[in-house]
């Protein structure tokens, strides 16, 4: 096998969805398995759909997943630039070649818009006098790819084998738009050749443009790389592919994304509490299977066993419950100390870690909850009252019994050694009847400390947050309810 060089070439038109990041993963695994290079190329020629921040999002997503790029916009390589918008000068000579050899032609298509191209971008030799006059007069044009009358075009996909395409079924695609910029059909072939790409691994949705790619390689007399078109990822019902244009009830992006146009925010797998290794492990099985019953593989394991021959030709149905299962498995593998580190990091990010709690107590909380949880977010949501005073959203009127609840303050103040057993006994004696036939003293105490009637054992909570914080919350609650 020749030296493996593969590329992940997304367009910065929004966030990456599951299908795109899976394409990146398969390219990465194939490259690393064969000691090759994994290249990131940004295909940003479609300026009308360009989204600010999308390129940075792509880079951050790959980093979060642990898919290290060998060459790309932020990493120097011998085949740059790695943004197509910076390669227009490179494309010019190839456009000239296609026009000069009757492999492409000017098309003056009727449009209502005014002239929207810049002739200086092209610097093309125009031999036809009528064509030259039309361009000088500002008539809008595009450049189209010319289909030569092959009897049948034989192409080969690694998964699907030989495919015979009749030339009559091919469209003469636009390769230069009216603004002078190249389309995907032209730019990606030129870039793949110049960047010495050995294998083109991309989604099944690009199968329709596959014959055009092959024609261009033939016109340029270039060696064709090996093509492999990945199967689609279908929604859980198996009715259509997962698409970022249709937001579903479960995350479809690796990281969260905010649409600046609509101001709508979308959660990603990271924000939903998934570990990147669990996310990748789930993703790799959407179209690939090494055989056997084992399902838990680290990225290092995947690199060692990955074979493109094991990719399925049929579409994969996404299963959200299975995604949760993978995260649960990785969560259970973490030690209490690892989870504690992640917990503190997340609390700091949320800016809520202002109540100092000793590690020994935090580990107690984790050991109690980790067997019941599959996500770090679940632990935080169930124990947030340990780290911040609760928000009180309901009025509790108990003026008639205010003195009885006030006595809690004296119980805490007089307990100098802060013995939980003594406090428990005193509160139970105090809790003789319900206030206004609704809340008991114990329930009101829980509301004051936790913010709801749910939570762990009340006296366990008091032992963790301590005497000072407990008093502070009781007083806050009394003042709130008056």
Would you report the helix, strand and coil content of the chain in percent, each value rounded to 5? 45, 10, 40
Which residues on adjacent β-strands are paired with residue 108?
Answer: none
Q: How far apart are CA 196 and CA 375, in angstroms?
A: 43
Q: Which of 134, 244, 424, 467 is catalytic?
A: 244
Residue 255 — very low, low, confident or very high, per pLDDT cuts 50/70/90? very high
Residue 199 — very low, low, confident or very high, per pLDDT cuts 50/70/90? very high
Q: How far apart are CA 415 and CA 468, in angstroms?
A: 11
CB 182 within 8 A of CB 88: yes
Residue 110 — very low, low, confident or very high, per pLDDT cuts 50/70/90? low
How much is the mean pLDDT over the chain? 83
For residue 415, is pLDDT > 80? no
What local confidence, expressed as pLDDT, does residue 436 receive? 44
User: Is the sign of the CA dihedral 27, 32, 36, 37 positive or negative?
Assistant: positive
What local confidence, expressed as pLDDT, does residue 3 receive? 93
Q: Which of 191-205, 248-262, 431-445 has the highest mean pLDDT?
A: 191-205
Q: How far apart are CA 74 and CA 254, in angstroms?
A: 20
What local confidence, expressed as pLDDT, does residue 457 receive? 84
Express as a percent the part of the chain with pLDDT over 90.
39
Q: Which residue has the higher pLDDT, 391 or 10?
A: 10
Residue linked to tokens 């009127």: 397
DSSP secondary structure string for all residues of 325-339: HHHHHHHHHS-HHHH
Q: Which of 54-58, 139-143, 204-208, 474-478 has the highest mean pLDDT?
A: 54-58
For residue 125, is pLDDT > 80? no
Q: How far apart are CA 96 and CA 170, in angstroms?
A: 23
Contacts for 166-171 with beta carbons within 8 Å, 24 or more apart?
170/211, 170/212, 170/215
For residue 145, is pLDDT > 50? yes
156 is a catalytic site residue: no
CB 153 within 8 A of CB 114: no
What local confidence, expressed as pLDDT, does residue 439 receive? 61
For residue 58, is pLDDT > 80? yes
Q: Which of 261-270, 283-292, 436-445 has the lowest mean pLDDT?
A: 436-445
Q: Which of 288-302, 330-344, 369-383, 386-400 has the lowest mean pLDDT?
A: 386-400
Residue linked to tokens 């914080």: 469
For residue 400, is pLDDT > 80? no
For residue 5, is pLDDT > 60? yes
For residue 419, is pLDDT > 90? no
Q: Which of 65-79, 184-198, 357-371 has the lowest mean pLDDT?
A: 357-371
Q: What is the mean pLDDT of residues 206-211?
A: 87
What local confidence, expressed as pLDDT, does residue 246 receive? 58
What local confidence, expressed as pLDDT, does residue 117 receive? 37
The pTM of this model reads 0.84
Helix axes 458-481, 441-450, angle to 10 degrees: 90
Any idea how long the chain is? 482
Residue 304 — very low, low, confident or very high, per pLDDT cuts 50/70/90? very high
CB 188 within 8 A of CB 9: yes
Q: Which of 60-74, 130-144, 258-272 has the lowest mean pLDDT?
A: 130-144
Which phi and psi (to 5°) does residue 473 adopt? -75, -35
DSSP alpha helices (H): ranges in 151-274? Answer: 184-194, 210-220
Burial tier of 291 (Cβ tally within 10 Å: 0-12, 13-18, 19+): exposed
């Amino acid at each position: 096998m020749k030296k493996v060089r593969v590329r992940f070439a997304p367009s910065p038109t929004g966030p990456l969805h599951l299908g795109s990041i899976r394409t990146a993963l398969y390219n990465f695994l194939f490259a690393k398995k064969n000691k090759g290079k994994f290249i990131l190329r940004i295909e940003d020629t479609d300026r009308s759909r360009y989204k600010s921040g999308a390129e940075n999002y792509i880079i951050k997503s790959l980093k979060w997943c642990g898919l290290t790029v060998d060459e790309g916009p932020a990493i120097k390589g011998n085949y740059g630039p790695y943004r197509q918008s910076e390669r227009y000068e490179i494309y010019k000579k190839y456009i000239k070649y296609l026009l000069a050899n009757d492999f492409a032609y000017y098309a003056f298509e009727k449009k209502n818009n005014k002239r929207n191209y810049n002739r200086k971008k092209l610097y093309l030799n125009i031999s036809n006098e009528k064509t030259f006059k039309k361009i000088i007069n500002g008539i809008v044009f595009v450049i189209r790819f010319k289909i030569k009358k092959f009897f049948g075009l034989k192409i080969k996909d690694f998964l699907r084998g030989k495919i015979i395409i009749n030339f009559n079924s091919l469209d003469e695609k636009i390769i230069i738009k009216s603004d002078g910029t190249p389309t995907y059909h032209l730019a990606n072939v030129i870039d793949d050749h110049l960047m010495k790409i050995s294998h083109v691994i991309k989604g099944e949705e690009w199968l329709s443009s596959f014959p055009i790619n092959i024609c261009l390689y033939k016109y340029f007399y270039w060696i064709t790389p090996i093509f492999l078109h990945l199967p689609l990822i279908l929604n859980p019902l198996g009715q259509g592919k997962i698409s970022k244009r249709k937001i579903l009830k479960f995350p479809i992006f690796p990281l969260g994304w905010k649409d600046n146009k609509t101001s709508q925010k979308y959660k990603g797998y990271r924000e939903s509490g998934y570990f990147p290794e669990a996310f990748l492990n789930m993703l790799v099985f959407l179209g690939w299977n090494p055989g056997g019953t084992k399902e838990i593989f680290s990225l290092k394991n995947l690199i060692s066993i990955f074979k493109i021959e094991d990719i399925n030709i049929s579409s994969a149905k996404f299963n959200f419950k299975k995604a949760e299962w993978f995260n649960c498995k990785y969560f259970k593998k973490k030690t209490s100390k690892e989870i504690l580190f992640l917990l503190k990091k997340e609390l700091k990010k949320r800016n809520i870690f202002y109540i100092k709690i000793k590690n020994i107590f935090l580990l107690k909380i984790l050991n109690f909850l980790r067997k019941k949880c599959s996500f770090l977010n679940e632990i935080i949501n169930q124990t947030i009252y340990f780290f911040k005073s609760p928000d009180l959203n309901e009025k509790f009127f108990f003026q008639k019994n205010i003195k009885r609840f006030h006595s809690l303050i004296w119980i805490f103040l007089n307990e100098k050694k802060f013995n939980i057993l003594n406090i428990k006994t005193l509160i139970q004696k105090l809790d003789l009847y319900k206030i206004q036939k609704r809340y008991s003293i114990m329930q009101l105490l829980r509301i004051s400390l936790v913010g709801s009637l749910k939570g762990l054992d009340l006296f366990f909570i008091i032992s963790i947050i301590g005497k000072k914080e407990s008093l502070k919350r009781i007083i806050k609650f009394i003042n709130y309810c008056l």
